[in-house]
Amino acid sequence: MGEAMMIRTIVEAIHSSPTQAVVYLSGGASVALGWLMSVPGASNTLLEAVVPYSRISMIQLLGRVPSQHCSQAMASEMALLAYNRAVKLSKPGFPVIGVGFTGALATSPPKRGDHRFFLSMRASDRIWETSVTLTKNLRSREEEDKVASRVLIQAMAKACQVSGTFDSGLTESEVPDESETQFSEEQELEQLIQGQLCFKVYPFSKEAYGSDKDRKIILPGSFNPLHDGHLKLLEVAMSVRGGGYPCFELSAVNADKPPLSVAQIKDRVKQFEAAGKTVIVSNQPYFYKKAELFPGSSFVIGADTAARLVNPKYYEGSYKRMLEILGDCKRTGCVFLVGGRNVDGVFQVLEDIDIPEEIRDMFVSIPAEKFRMDISSTELRKKQGGVDKRKRENAKEDVEQSSK
């Protein structure tokens, strides 16, 4: 089999895998993009490809001025940015990788330093890093780019768990320096709390239906505990929207409380595993940030939350600021599905709330006859606390009786 055919076979296998990718390249491996995009099925894999070539382009990508353009740290930073972008763009529940590449290849006039490149691939639970120093004056710029591209395609194949290989074109003396670092679930959640990862999906259910299966129907909450009301509400919201990908969303970071601990997050996630329902753990407590994280999604909320969303009090008293922020949410394609809710003994529905005309079409009512949010996690905890207290009192009485 010829080299071109071998590369094509590997790329076809990558496109047949469920893994989706965002690729950030600078200074080389440009031929790899051609290979990935010229083989049918590219849209299964490639979510986005960015080539930040100029200095200002790289500064805008990173959000800072880099101290060194061509380094392993830079490739890994690009890979993490690409990974976070990939989880936002990917189909719900699909595995993703972020690819970062930076190279200093042959130039005209010839450069004084080494010809080298650095590659990094980030998945949710690991990072692969590769660095190669090429022999100077052995290849043209185009040939060096092809070698770097082959190494990149082979690394993507490995990350996509695709078997098969081809000659990278490296000589015996050009030995890649390769490493793989795995992360435990605890480390991943720690990275999320610290803001390195934007969210983590636990795809405990595979259910998605209707015409728009990529659209997320999201029920946010603290789920302390998860109860039947939550499950029923998301079910009803799905029928109101005519289908989509149903998921719950738990923010590890709270607006007015300390962040949840890793142990607390794991405990709450276990509830969804037992129920067989997908949950996303994020680090964004605010809806305008959630809208950025999950563009085009429908958020399921109670009427009390809807009332707070349009109350200028929560926007430093500025009506204009409230309209700006919710207008930005609207532009992301975000919709709020509003369920009726008992608030201080009064049943409140969307129609009771004065929604500004500019953003009114973002809010869709869940009819009260379909669902009433009369149950809350707080009340359940209070009841459970009462049950536990009675159990302790009964146990104490039993001990006292037996000791008499």
What's the rounded Cα separation, in Å, for the pair 176 and 53? 24
In which element (H, E) is residue 377 found?
A: helix 377-403
H-type helices in 279-376, by residue range?
Answer: 287-293, 303-309, 319-331
Residue 382 within any structural domain of the chain: no
Q: What is the CATH number of the domain that holds 364?
A: 3.40.50
Enter the pTM of the model: 0.86
For residue 297, is pLDDT > 90?
yes
In which band, very low, low, confident or very high, does the pLDDT at 343 lie, cut at 50, 70 and 90? confident
What's the rounded Cα separation, in Å, for the pair 394 and 386? 12
Shared domain check, 323 and 218: yes
pLDDT at 386 (0 to 100): 54
Domain boundary among 135, 160, 182: 182
Shared domain check, 170 and 201: no
The residues, ordered by sequence, that sit 6+ positions from 187 with a Cβ below 8 Å of its Cβ are none
Shared domain check, 334 and 211: yes
Shared domain check, 127 and 45: yes
For the chain, how big is the Rg over CA atoms in Å? 26
Residue 318 within any structural domain of the chain: yes
For residue range 74-96, list pLDDT tens digits in order: 999 999 999 999 999 988 778 99
Shared domain check, 228 and 102: no
Shared domain check, 234 and 130: no
Shared domain check, 177 and 199: no
Nearest to 234 by CA among 216, 253, 211, 250: 216
CB 87 within 8 A of CB 97: no
Domain tally for the chain? 2
For residue 218, is pLDDT > 70?
yes
Pairing mode, strands 20-26 and 96-104: parallel
Residue 112 within any structural domain of the chain: yes
What's the rounded Cα separation, in Å, for the pair 41 and 101? 23
Domain boundary among 164, 182, 200: 182
Residue 275 within any structural domain of the chain: yes
What's the rounded Cα separation, in Å, for the pair 203 and 34? 32
Shared domain check, 357 and 305: yes
Residue 390 within any structural domain of the chain: no
Phi, psi dihedral angles at 67 (to 5 degrees): -75, -30
Shared domain check, 335 and 216: yes
Shared domain check, 361 and 270: yes
The structure tokens 């049950």 sit at 387
The residues, ordered by sequence, that sit 6+ positions from 214 with a Cβ below 8 Å of its Cβ are 91, 92, 245, 296
What's the rounded Cα separation, in Å, for the pair 49 and 68? 22
For residue range 156-179, list pLDDT tens digits in order: 999 999 988 889 999 999 999 999
For residue range 234-260, list pLDDT tens digits in order: 999 999 988 889 999 999 998 888 999
Could you tell me the residue range of the domain that residue 35 belongs to?
1-182
CB 294 within 8 A of CB 218: yes
Domain boundary among 182, 204, 229: 182
